[in-house]
Structures are given as C-alpha cells and as structure tokens.
Structure 1
C-alpha cells in the first residue's frame, strides 16, 4: 500500500502556507491529508498560522484595522493579543490569514483528511488549552468533519484533554528533539525515554516524529502498539524512499507533488 501523502501547511513548498489557495492547490494535487496550524485570537476566533506570534518571514502588515490603532504594526505580536479584524489586515502571501471556519468550508466538500495542529506550549494554563480545543472542535463538528479530522499537538496536554472530552477525534502525538529532552514539560507528565510507549499511555491514536528521530526500530515499536507513524517533514525523493522502506504510514511534506510522482512511478 502507498504511504499517505500529507501536505505540510497545505503545500508549503509550492504555495503560501496555511492559506486557502495553498489548500486548494494541495487538493488539486491529490493529497490524502492537509496539515494546518490553529491559534486563538483575542476575540476567541480560531485562525490559521504556524507560530503563536506573527512572523515577518511570511507575513506583512498592510494597514491598521482602524485609524490610530496603538497595536499597529501587528507583525511580531502574539495572535492571542490581536483581534480578528486586526489579523484580517495581514498579507499572508495569497490573501489574508484564514479562519478555521473558512478552511472547513473549503475542505468539507472534498475527501481530504484534516490534520489540525493546536499551537500551544507548556506555559499555557489549562483553561486556555480547553478554550482553544473546545472552540476548534465545535467548528470542526459543525462542519461535519469529526470523522475526517485528527488533532495534533506537541503539548500532549491537548491530547489528554481531547481524549477525555472529545474522544471521537483522532489524536496525533507530535515529537521532536526539543520535546524529548530530560525533564521535558511537553509530554503531559510522561517520560521521554520511550516516546512511543508514552504516546500510547496518553491515548494517542497515531505517533508523528520528526524525521531525524524516525528509525526502523521506532516504526516497529509504534506498530507493535497499534500506532500509525506519520513522519515529518520530508522533502527529497531520496528521503521519501527511505521512509517508505521503513514502512511508515504517512509522510508530511512541503512538496506533495514529489511524493505523489514518486509513488506513481514506483508503486509498492
């Protein structure tokens, strides 16, 4: 069976990330899933952006939301400290920053799975996590996407709350080197010594490691715990082939066209 093709932030290497045109392009390419990132605004709207702060690397200010707005310019500020009208003025490279509601309207008519990463970190208080998670789940449920959505998080408290309060959603435990250090605060109290077992203990339904962490023994260990492995972020055909040979279940890539072409040319 071919590995699933997950478009990273849409098709980040081909179109501006976390934008509606980027998602439309990924759909047209034929991806199986789209990975996207969500955060919460000051007025409790769920919007798409990779970082908790607005980055000048992919975002530009255009004008204040209203004349004399003391918060302007907005780039460099936290999403949680800005309102949706303020964020609407930001140029994201292909239109503005979309809301999750707009994204659901675009993707609901397709077959695409949504991999929704909730952008929290260990400094967030539990009530803030609950607010972002609950609001996100409400939007996805209203769009009829419950069965086509996985909730992703590096901060595994998101996953334990999802397990307890929203168990119908898939829960993907993200892991990278910085979250697996000794005395880590990212894993909801679990030990980083055996991240696969830790992910299983908190009720994850899939394990998604950084590519440098992904080895054949790790894949075997995850499969032994009935956890699919979703490796990220893999962009060259050579690396894609290597991870396919490792028997991973899905590959997250900035260039989904390359992975689709590779699997079309050399089907498993």
Structure 2
C-alpha cells in the first residue's frame, strides 16, 4: 500500500460525519464531492451474511431509529439495540439512518450534520458501486469485530468483505482497517492485494491486551509490522512524534485519527504524518491549502445516490 509521498492524505471519516449522516450513501457521496483521498467507513455482517455499513456492532439509537417491522408481528422488533449479527438485511433496511439523535444537546455532529430523514444503511456492494465511479478515491473499510469473536467468525467476516471488494474490482485500491488484528492476518489471506491498516487506541494497547493478535503492546509500530500491516493508524492521543518516527522508520505510513479542529490538524501536519482522518473534510482541505499542501480534486457534479 502506498500513501502520497511528500503530502498529507485527506481521509473522510465515516464519510463526512460532521456534515452528513455517517456511514450512508449520501454521506459518502458528499465526501467525494468535497474531495478526499480516501473514504473511511465501518462494516458489519448480518445474520444472512450480507456486509452492511454501521459503526457499532449493535444498532445504536444515536444514529439509527426504528420505523416499522419488516413484517407484522416480527418478534425481533424493535431492531435498535440489537446486534447486526442477529438481524437480517431486510430487518436492517427498515431503520432510518438519516437523523442523528444524540443523548446530549451539545453533540458536535448533531450541531453541524445535515439531517436526511429516510436514509437507509447501505450494503458494502452499494458503496462499492458508488466508489467505482470515483477511481482516484481509496476505500478504507473498517471491519468491526472484537476479541470476543471466535477465530472462525473473524475469518467468515473478512472473507465476506474481500469477496465484495473483488466482485467490484476494488481490492487493489482498498485498505482494510481493524483494531482486532486477527482481521489483518485474515486479510492477508483473503485480500492480499489490499492495504492492511493496524488501528490502535489507548484501550487496545494496555498490558495483556487481547486486541493485537497476541503481539507486544509496548511497541505498536513494531507489532503492526510483525502482523503484516502496511500502515499504522493511531488515535490522536497515541500519535506522538516518537511513534510517527518509529512507524515511518519501519516504512509504515501513519494515518492519525480523528482530527476535527484546525489547530490539531496543523500540529500533525508539522509532525509529518502521512494522512489525517477527519469528520470535516472541508476544514482539513482549508488547513492543507494554508500550508501549501495539495488537496484532492473534488468529484465533479452530483453523485447518483439510490435511497
């Protein structure tokens, strides 16, 4: 996997979460029209083995709401609060993902995100169809698992994601991301041409952590290299200049997340990171331009987005 040498890549987080509903086709399309190098989104697996977009493994009342059961008297309704793996695609299709309903009134995304009522959660196949029209943009697909998953479940999920990417000819330009590094091991097997991005945050890099596929938490960059990652993606609190230098010294590009304030963006541009993940691609574009760095070309026109 290559990043753009001598530049800072702009990665839209969950599409453009600060501006449009997260992990939805309209949200991803908006990021494309703003101009991004890569577009990050989260996927899970339904009970009938369909890969769908959603951040949490459980349908959260923050970003989705129930409408009606898929059939009268469905004993699993309401669906919000249930795990994706317990629900079929037909059931998940009924939820509305277009309006953020946070628990707190000061939720920053609710204050800046344009509501789009009636927007469903898309499948990975639908997203691939959208991104096929934007060949310069790299899909950054985060597979949502945790150490409680069995090895066989991780394998099944990773293989399902790889199959969809391959069907659309997107494997070679995609990056597969995971906190559960077993996914990266399986990605090397099922999607060897895709990038493999080792995600780390403070809770996954503690002594005895079950997240890093049994590798040493004390050296995240070295462990990422050992597991076969092609890039390291730490949360902002972990992305110290020393970690950036260590990773890049191992030829691992560093993509730091999630930076939404211009001051933080400027600081990490100074650290020399390879990519910045943001909920506000418009803000990062402005910061990069102020520093004389190139910005990705916006996708022209209006992207066709099925609802």
Do they superpose with TM above 0.5?
Answer: yes
Is the 2:158–2:190 contact (alpha carbons within 8 Å) kept by the matching residues of 1? no
Q: CA deviation at 1:131?
A: 1.0
Task: Verify: 1:25 aligned to 2:30, yes or no.
Answer: yes
Q: Secondary structure at the match of 1:56?
A: coil
Q: TM-score, normalised by structure 2?
A: 0.86
Please say if 1:98 is aligned against 2:103.
Answer: no
1:61-88 CA distance string (max 9 Å, x none):
0000000000000000000000000001
TM superposition score normalised by structure 1: 0.99
- Where do residues 81-160 of structure 1 align in structure 2 (5 Å cutoff)? 81-93=86-98, 94=116, 95-110=119-134, 111-160=136-185
Q: CA RMSD in A?
A: 0.8
Pick aligned residue for 1:14 from 19, 27, 38: 19
Shift of 1:116: 0.2
Q: Give a deviation string over 1:33-71, Cα, whole Å, max 9, x none.
A: 100000000000000000000000111000000000000
Q: Deviations over 1:131-189 (max 9, x none)?
A: 11111101001111011100000000000111234321110000000000110000001
SS at match of 1:147: helix
Q: Does 1:232 align with 2:257?
A: yes
Match of 2:215 among 161, 166, 190: 190
- Determine which structure has greater relative contact order: mean sequence separation of CA pairs < 8 Å that are 6+ residues apart, divided by chain length: 2
Deviations along 1:102-128, one digit per CA (max 9) or x if unpaired, are 000011110210000000000101111
1:210 and 2:215 aligned: no
Contact 1:150 1:171 in 2 (8 A): yes
Aligned-residue offset at 1:15: 0.3
2:39 to 31, 34, 37: 34
Unaligned runs of 5+ in 1: none
- Say if 1:233 and 1:251, in contact at 8 Å, map to a contact too: yes
SS in 2 for 1:98: coil
Verify the 8 A CA contact 2:180 2:213 in the aligned structure 1.
yes
Matched residue of 2:95: which SS?
Answer: coil
Q: After TM superposition, which residue ranges in structure 1, 4 or more long, deviate above 2 angstroms?
A: none
**Where in structure 2 are there 5+ consecutive unaligned residues?**
1-5, 99-115, 294-307
Secondary structure at the residue paired with 1:172? strand
